[in-house]
Amino acid sequence: MATEISKPVMARPLRRIAAALLFGIVAGAALPAAGADSALSRFQAANEAYKNQDYPAAAQGYEGLIAEGAKDPILYYNAGCALAQLGRKGRAIAMFERALRMAPRFDEARDNLARIAPATQEKPVFFLFLPFVALFRAETAEGFFLAAFVGWWLFALTAAAWILLRPGKARTGTAALASVSLVATLFFEAYFLAKRSFEERIEAVVVAEKALSRSGPSEKYTELDMLSEGVKVRMLEAPREGWVKTRLPGGRIGYLPEGAVERI
């Protein structure tokens, strides 16, 4: 039975996916323009396969483009939809997470993620902080950086105007605007630093049906938690000798088999 999720994106312009392949590095060389046209054809073929409920062919088409270096939120999202229909929940969650990292306001990806991700016990947010949390989730670090950049220019211009103007209402209003610009700039700078730190975190999703975490990088170490498919963990180190050091959902350190998780 098909999974109840939002459908893939079929009608939006696809040139970004071609550009992702055209300017990406594939097998050590830039992909030629003909290859980009082929990539678009393959993406559209995968969409048609999904429409015809041929989910294995759709997933294979999307994942093939991703394996060749394409990075686009629509491509990740569509791949997640196909994988979810195949019951590959963990990998589907990884794809939706990737889409949201590139496009935090991708509502369809967020809705699908909420439908298939395992329930988590998050600490409730104090109601006065809800608008700030929503803003943090709705934008990328790059977006906050651009907002801070514009704020600095506005502050510089209003500060220069304040210096040049004679005392009066205009000068007073300019001073107020400069003050507001400075506060807004510092606000967005703080958001930029926090968001950049968040985006630099390396996270992974459990793609195995069950994954047993251990206290060390070997089966001889103590068993810790049994994690279900789709659970998200934080990677603390690069995989080593077949094991990944992670921070488990409960907060403690644990090691998982490398093949049981997929990096977001």
Q: pLDDT digits over 246-255, tens only?
A: 999 888 999 9
**Is 193's pLDDT higher than 70?**
yes
Q: Where are the domains of the chain?
A: 15-116, 127-199, 203-263
pTM of structure: 0.79
Answer for the pair 62, 79: CB distance below 8 angstroms, yes or no: yes
CA-based R_g, the chain, Å: 23
Q: Residue 167: what pLDDT? A: 85
The whole-chain average pLDDT of the chain stands at 86
Which CATH number does the domain 15-116 belong to among 3.10.450.230, 3.30.10.20, 1.25.40.10, 3.20.20.210? 1.25.40.10
How would you label 102-126 residue by residue, b for 16+ Cβ within 10 Å and e otherwise? bbbebebbbebbeebbeeeeeeeee
Say whether domain 203-263 belongs to CATH 3.40.50.10420: no
Please, where are the H alpha helices in 68-168?
A: 73-85, 89-102, 107-116, 130-138, 141-164
Interatomic CA distance for residues 162 and 115, integer angstroms: 53
**Is 81's pLDDT higher than 80?**
yes
Which residue is listed with tokens 């990088």?
A: 217
Q: Residues 100-119: pLDDT tens digits? A: 999 999 999 999 999 998 87
Do domains 15-116 and 203-263 share one topology? The answer is: no
Q: Residue 28: what pLDDT? A: 40
Q: Can you say whether residue 168 is alpha, beta or left, with left for phi > 0 and alpha for psi between -120 and 50 degrees?
A: left
